Structures are given as structure tokens and as C-alpha cells.
Copies of this chain bind each other. A is one copy, B any other.
Amino acid sequence: MALGEFELIDRYFRRPVRRAALGVGDDCALLQPSPGMQLAVSTDLLVEGRHFLSTVDPVLLGHKSLAVNLSDLAACGAAPLAFTLSLALPRADERFLAPFAQGLLALADRFDIELVGGDTTAGPLTIGITVFGEVPPGQALLRSGARVGDDIWVSGWPGEARLALEVFRGSLSLDEAGFAQARHAMECPEPRVALGLALRGLAHAAIDLSDGLLGDLRHVLQRSGVGAQLWLADFPRRAPLATQPLPVQRMCLLTGGDDYELLFCAAPESAPAVRAVAEQAGVAVHRIGRIEPAEAGLRVLDETGQAADLGHWSGFDHFKT
């Protein structure tokens, strides 16, 4: 069935405007930011074959497309407000669009945010989302605020998404339950918005894990002008990751990518408060290292306390892997 661009927007994506001053359907959307608040903006482009497999359930793809953007807001401690959606589609296929919109808008509803504008065109399947959030001036969590002596924390169970990817690549196998869990981590990440908001005023720095923990942590270290020590023994792991050979575990934990967990730094005396807000947000958090002076660089101690060789590990880079 040949749906036109405008019918397509109408049918799947138009909803009554609630909070925005003007939503989909004019040259621009109009947002009325709360007085005095800063607007946090983040944008991500997802390309088929690069960020998702052509076989993924469109409901989950819709969810993930928005989730990875909300994760950026979470890492800034910003409260989500609205988003725009750009879609390039090989064809206007209802069997894709209906479930894609369903997954996307279900997550939007959970965070009470609305789709305020977008663009659709023919082209190789590509999903571009820009999210807007708000944060009181001076309270955004930045990459640049880590201080020597800070604890390094991570939320959730990083590394599991990578396990699923390796199964799809055929390089390892998991039992049915293990694969289901890993696949869920890869295809249906949960943005840590409540945790990000709760960490305002508590964390000194934060970043969301998308390109692999080591590479993402390096951004924090560079921006903050500090070094770090990580303790592999303290990294969270559960089945199916915990039952993999140690080199696989380490690869997934340190360079996995696609985690959409928060890595954040906070003063040691804030540890009880960190645990309390994480529990309230319903998210597991683990202390996995410490911020050191810049001269110390980045060191990883393995499960036996030995310094691990990081030579062949680096963060995921879209033009290098």
C-alpha cells in the first residue's frame, strides 16, 4: 500500500498536543521552556546494519531509538520534555511503521513527553531523533566535573548487550534464557532518567555508556583532567555474562558498547546517598573504581588485583571498527 508522506505522519505519529505550544504539522514546533530553566538537547542517528539489525522487531526498534536519546538526557540530569523524529524509509511500509510508532510512543508516554515535529523521506532506513529536556542552570551533570578521590559508579549490568551481539555474529552461543536476557539488554535498553535526575547535586560528573565503558570513561577523564583506576573484581556481572570465559567477560564489560547505563563520579562520603537514590530509582549501582590524578592515567586492575594490559582495548568508534 502506497502511503504518502503526509498521510503517513498523520496516521502513525500525530497526536493531540499537550505540553508543547504547537506540535507536528507546521514549519516549526513551538516549545515554551519553563522560566529560567536551561534546555538540554541531544541528537542521535541510527542506521540499519550499523546500530540495529534488519531483523529487529520494529516495536523494540521504536523503543530503542528514543531510549538511546533519553539516555543522553539522563546522563545530564535533565528532565525529558519533547522530541523530534526524522525517518528515511526505503518505502512507506505499514507493517514497519505501525509497530515502530507503537514502541516509540509507548516509551514517550511513560516519560510523558511528546513528538513535536519531524521529517520523513525515502532513503536507506535511518532514524534521527533529537530530544529536549530541561535542567536548572548550573545543575546539569557534565563530563567535566570529576574530582580526584571520587568513586566511579556504574548503573545496571553493562556488557550484556555485547553478549547478544556476539551471538548474532556467531562468535559465541548462550542457552535460551541467557540469550533472551542479553537480547533484551541489546534491543530494549532502559534509559536511566530517574537515576540521572536523582544524581543532580550528588554526582560530580556523568556520562551514558554507549560506545564501551573504557572509551566513555576516557571522555570523562579528558574533560575533567584526571586519571582513574578501575577494579574489575568489583564490576557487576550476573548470568549469562558471569558464566562466560574471563576474557569474554572483560571484553564485554570494558568495551561492550550499547549499554545505555550511567557511569558517574561522586565523592566517597556521598556513597550512602548514591545507594539510597539508586534504590529509590529502582536501579542497581556498583562502585567500580576511583578517580586519580591525571598523571596516573587510566589503569584497570584485573580480578586478581594485577594491572591489566589495555593496549588492545579502546572505545567503540564508528569509523574505526
The chain A residues found within 8 Å of chain B, CB to CB, are 2-6, 8, 21-22, 25-33, 35-36, 38-45, 47, 49-51, 72-73, 75-76, 78, 84-89, 91-92, 116-124, 126, 128, 130, 132-133, 135, 137, 140, 142-144, 206-208, 223, 317-320
Contacts and interface: CB of A to CB of B under 8 A. Distances in A.
Contacts of A4: 317, 319-320
Contacts of A86: 43-45, 128
B123 A317 contact: no
Nearest to A131: B28
Given A40-B29, A135-B30, A123 B47 contact: yes
B2 A320 contact: yes
B3 A319 contact: yes
B76 A28 contact: yes
Q: How many copies does the complex hold?
A: 2
A312 to B, nearest CB: 16
A42 B20 CA distance: 13
A131 B30 CA distance: 12
B26 A117 contact: no
Nearest to A321: B122
User: Which 9 pairs of residues, A with B, have the shortest CB-CB distance?
Assistant: A47-B123, A45-B86, A27-B75, A128-B128, A28-B40, A28-B76, A130-B130, A31-B39, A124-B124
Given A45-B123, A84-B130, 9 more contacts: A5-B317, A25-B143, A27-B73, A41-B117, A43-B85, A44-B86, A45-B86, A45-B120, A49-B123
A3 B319 CA distance: 7
Nearest to A316: B5
A85 B310 CA distance: 33
Nearest to A44: B119
A28 B122 contact: no
29 contacts: A6-B317, A21-B38, A21-B137, A25-B223, A26-B76, A26-B143, A27-B207, A28-B140, A29-B42, A30-B41, A31-B38, A32-B38, A32-B137, A35-B35, A41-B117, A43-B84, A43-B117, A43-B118, A43-B119, A45-B87, A45-B120, A45-B128, A89-B319, A91-B319, A122-B318, A123-B124, A124-B124, A124-B126, A126-B126
B319 A41 contact: no
Contact of A122 (B41, B50, B123, B130): B50
